[in-house]
Structure 1
Amino acid sequence: MGRGVFTKRDLQAGDLIGIEEMFSWTIMDECKYSRCLNCMKENYLMLIPCPNCTCAMFCSKKCLEDGTNKFHQYECPIINFMYDYLPSNFILTIRTLLNVINEFSTIKNCYTSCVESVTKNIYGDETSEFDFKDYKYSNGINLINSIYYDKSDAMAFFPYIPIIALLKYFLIRKTKLKEMVIEKEHQDFISEAMLLYTRIIQDSSYGSKIIFSEDSPEFQFLSPFESLFNHSCNPNVEHWIIGKKVYFLTLKPIKKGLQLLLNYCPDFGTLPKEHRILFLESRNFVCRCEACLKDYPTFNIEKAKNHKPKLYTRDFNAILSNMGKINDMTPKQAYTYLKQCSKFMEKYYYKFFPDQPVILIERLITKIISKLLGDESMKNVIKKNK
């Protein structure tokens, strides 16, 4: 199983587990002139370019300053090369390395900390507890570096070595890093770190995601906290992305002591078992989740509306009557509707799942949360109920 996340208390559908800022990110080439490179917000025709290159755009002077200080001061001399010749995975590798280095100010401090993370195997084999309120950016660095122990197959790194050697040459010879990387052990660290980060980013189970809009990729990011979650084709947690923030919320009731699960592919309601198997096998992953072992049925909205067991017909109809009104609801009405769906799931989920009506309520919860997180005034309401 590897690492996993378990709850210490009962959770209801719609509960906020935590909010993590993306550890590193990259905007796809097609979107680099419509999104701020620092805060990731869309901003057409009003972006400020970097004074020294044509590939980095920012939405304000503050974002220009922040982005430059964090990572762009290093990548600026080679960013045209990055976008012209590198897949997004390797651009994200460079950004991950630069963010790690920036956190420690010097290569020496960075090297020492990373060696300690691997030596101590932080978040590796041992069970540890932490309150997400205390989760910090440095925790993300420890999570990333400790993944080394989870993936020990040396052959998995072999295909990336030529490109990493080229990236190391450009970073050390063409950027400000040449002033920081003098000792050989630090140069070797640059190579080893990029190999590790590339391997992590290639594997979506470690929190590397590509976000699409109308089938076109917009950006890719790395979420260290998400790397802790195991997979299920019947996930009980989902993430939502607002700017650079990743929100983790529950989709169904989860009893104390149970594992929190995300999905690495479309869930059982969307994709039949045989297609999910092929999708996951292409990523060297064999799924043995309950949805696969019991071959849960795909979701059919008409069956869900017409299949109404007497034990919960009244409660289901009360929710169904407002299903088509979600887009017109005020944030307060949407939150009340979310609580209504949550109570239904708490009452009936463990008795009747995967009945089609129960799957429908779960999908309604997803839609309501999307609406609430899209409204600035309701984010605080969700946070207060964390």
Structure 2
Amino acid sequence: MSVKDVYDYTDKLKNQLIKDKKVLEISKEFLKITENAERMKFVEKLLIEYRLMAEDMKVKSCKSNATSELHRKKGNEFYTEKKFLDAMESYNKSLCFAESGSDNIGIAYANRSAVYFETQLYSKCLENIQLAKDNNYPMKNMGKLDKRKNLCLELIKTDHDAKNANDPVRGKYFKLNQKLNKKLPFLAECLEVKSNDTFGRYIVTKKALAPGDIVCIEEPFSTFLLPNCSYKYCANCLNDNSLDLIACQQCTSTLFCSDDCAKIGYEKFHKYECGIIDELNFLGTKILRLALRTFFEAFYVCNQNLNELKALMKENEGSTATIFDFDDPFDKKNILQAIDALAMNSGRDQSDLFQRSGIVAIMCNLYLKFTPLKDILPTEADEDFFRCFIFKQTQIAACNYHGLYNGVVKLMEICDDPGYGSGSFPFCSLINHSCAPNLVRLNLGPKNFIVINRPIPAGGQLFDNYGFHHCLETFEQRQLGLLNQYRFKCSCEACEGKFALYNDLSHVDRNFYDIYGGDIEKLMHFDFERAIEKFESYCLYLKKYDKYYPCYEISSLQECLLQALKMFSSSKSKMQLCIR
């Protein structure tokens, strides 16, 4: 059995126990254990016994000029095909693998400058030309670089660098357009949290909201960048910076957008991850990696003082506080307490606890055995605290961590795009699910923006979608998926009313195609002018015809609204890399 991630080790353990006919015996012993720390020690002992616990690093990439040159060659192929976004990713890989002091570093920067020149990002072109010169760019090719520099300077003089200016469209559409909550200025004042036996804690609006209203812009407490996006985004702030990134000098898969982000990222988390980054990328899942990042963020906001963090978590035991309950919602210790008090995924059986104990034990062992973390956890009690913190966060994560997404996807099709990262958001985690949601979440870097896409009356509840939409999946598929992943039976309006799939929805407006026909295809081909021209019209239509929901027209324009917002959320420079 090949190993794909950390779960495969616990699956191997289960299979071995079955083979040895020890399942019943082990299950009885495990059932007697009531403390998570002891559960993890019990499973860890079994993993060691069956030689499934890492004794050394199995995956580790080193700086290599040969590998750097392979990525550069691939980037050149993309460049020739005018696939500039792919070219930039390959050049960043080349930069990451280049050995210290080699001319491969300078050549990678020079190649990036060529992409920026072609996409009319002249300021970035000049910056990368200088970086190339500062990093051993071959003298024999310097004339070509100087020629590009001179052309850039001329084009900037003639004001052809306007596309490097700040994007006014993003500023217009991505801001709170409701009266602000004085205490929580990242939220609309009309939002409040309520609680009952049916919904638990949930969010309602005190005033009517309309499609296009932006009611929340929330920063995460902690974030994690997916490994397959590590050459396109800053590992610390998760902004793409038009892929103008700085490589870590030690590992081969971490980049930052600036020296400041590199310094902060190293101090917060990368000094613990750098030496094991390839193993983490190989074994770790999104939930585990973000749970670990949440610990490092918590440790950092507690002044890297373990006793201070322990005391804070002890004080928060049993808390049900939300972000609304704290006097200073921008104090990261308060945000940590709100995250720690989020509802955990209940209803998990002993098999799940056994597996969770195993995967957390394996990941924590990596840090305790191979990183500087062992120096700040000197006692067994300290190690137990670390493991239990991660264990609890994995329980919280299943219902409360949010994926970070961008880009344009196909109309009303299930998309396997995993996004570019994950984040922990104490407010957004209070919003319940519906298979017919009345809002969409979008991301700028790590921020969560909540945009209303159906009218919500005063007193109405806000509903997000947890990945099971009536347009995309049948009633039976949604019920099974939500039960397996989130442990609840959905009774939203779409499930109660047996709403149809997108292609089976009724048509209610015979004039729809004359006005909006072809819009989605144009938006998917980055028709920026169309998006600006029609955006207000989409919002008005969604409000006017909501009484006919569910119908083909509303679902189509909800998608148009989403695609337009995704375009507005992308920086113009990123768009230029995509479309040229």
Question: TM-score surpassing 0.5?
Answer: yes
CA separation in 2, counterparts of 1:328 and 1:293? 38
Name the counterpart of 1:92. Answer: 290
Is 1:29 the equivalent of 2:223?
Answer: no
Name the counterpart of 2:312. Answer: 113
Unpaired stretches in structure 1, ≥5 consecutive residues: 378-386
- Give the letter aligned to residue 348 of structure 1: Y
Relative contact order (alpha carbons < 8 A, sep ≥ 6): 1 or 2 greater? Answer: 1
Is 1:299 the equivalent of 2:494?
Answer: no
Is 1:207 the equivalent of 2:401?
Answer: yes
Name the counterpart of 2:336. Answer: 141
Q: Given the superposition, is the C-alpha separation of residues 184 and 290 from structure 1 closer, same or farther in structure 2, using an over 3 Å criterion?
A: same
The DSSP-based 3-state class of the residue aligned with 2:463 is strand
Shift in Å, 1:216: 5.4
The DSSP-based 3-state class of the residue aligned with 2:215 is strand
CA separation in 1, counterparts of 2:355 and 2:336? 24
Q: Is the 8 A contact 2:436 2:493 kept in 1?
A: yes
Q: What's the TM-score, normalizing by structure 2?
A: 0.55
The DSSP-based 3-state class of the residue aligned with 2:200 is coil
Large movers: runs of 4+ above 6 Å: none
Correspondence for 2:482 among 253, 275, 280: 280
Task: Give the number of aligned pairs.
Answer: 361
Q: Given the superposition, is the C-alpha separation of residues 36 and 375 from structure 1 closer, same or farther in structure 2, using an over 3 Å criterion?
A: closer
Q: Given the superposition, is the C-alpha separation of residues 69 and 278 from structure 1 closer, same or farther in structure 2, using an over 3 Å criterion?
A: same
CA separation in 2, counterparts of 1:24 and 1:234? 29
- Give the letter aligned to residue 118 of structure 1: E
Shift in Å, 1:291: 0.4
CA separation in 1, counterparts of 2:536 and 2:548? 19
Instruction: Kindly provide the CA deviation profile for residues 239-293 of structure 1, in whole angstroms up to 9, marking residues without a partner as x.
Output: 1122222211111111121111111124112222222223223323321111011
Q: Given the superposition, is the C-alpha separation of residues 187 and 302 from structure 1 closer, same or farther in structure 2, using an over 3 Å criterion?
A: closer
Q: Is the 8 A contact 1:236 1:261 kept in 2?
A: yes
- Give the letter aligned to residue 317 of structure 2: V
Instruction: Kindly provide the CA deviation profile for residues 86-135 of structure 1, in whole angstroms up to 9, marking residues without a partner as x.
Output: 334322222121111111111112122222223332139xxx5789x955
Which one is further off, 95-104 or 360-369? 360-369
Alignment of structure 1 residues 136-215 onto 2, 5 Å: 137-147=332-342, 151=346, 155=350, 156-182=352-378, 184-201=380-397, 203=398, 205-209=399-403, 215=416
Alignment of structure 1 residues 189-338 onto 2, 5 Å: 189-201=385-397, 203=398, 205-209=399-403, 215=416, 217=418, 219-224=420-425, 225-283=427-485, 284-300=487-503, 304=507, 307-308=508-509, 319-320=515-516, 323=519, 326=523, 327-330=526-529, 334-335=531-532, 337-338=534-535
Correspondence for 1:56 among 254, 261, 267: 254
- Give the letter aligned to residue 280 of structure 1: L
Is 1:359 the equivalent of 2:529?
Answer: no
Shift in Å, 1:297: 1.9
CA separation in 2, counterparts of 1:348 and 1:91? 43
CA separation in 2, counterparts of 1:164 and 1:334? 45
Q: Is the 8 A contact 1:49 1:57 kept in 2?
A: yes
The DSSP-based 3-state class of the residue aligned with 1:5 is strand
The DSSP-based 3-state class of the residue aligned with 2:223 is strand
CA separation in 1, counterparts of 2:565 and 2:445? 16
Shift in Å, 1:173: 4.5
- Give the letter aligned to residue 363 of structure 1: E
CA separation in 2, counterparts of 1:280 and 1:115? 33
Correspondence for 1:122 among 311, 314, 321: 321
CA separation in 2, counterparts of 1:83 and 1:363? 33
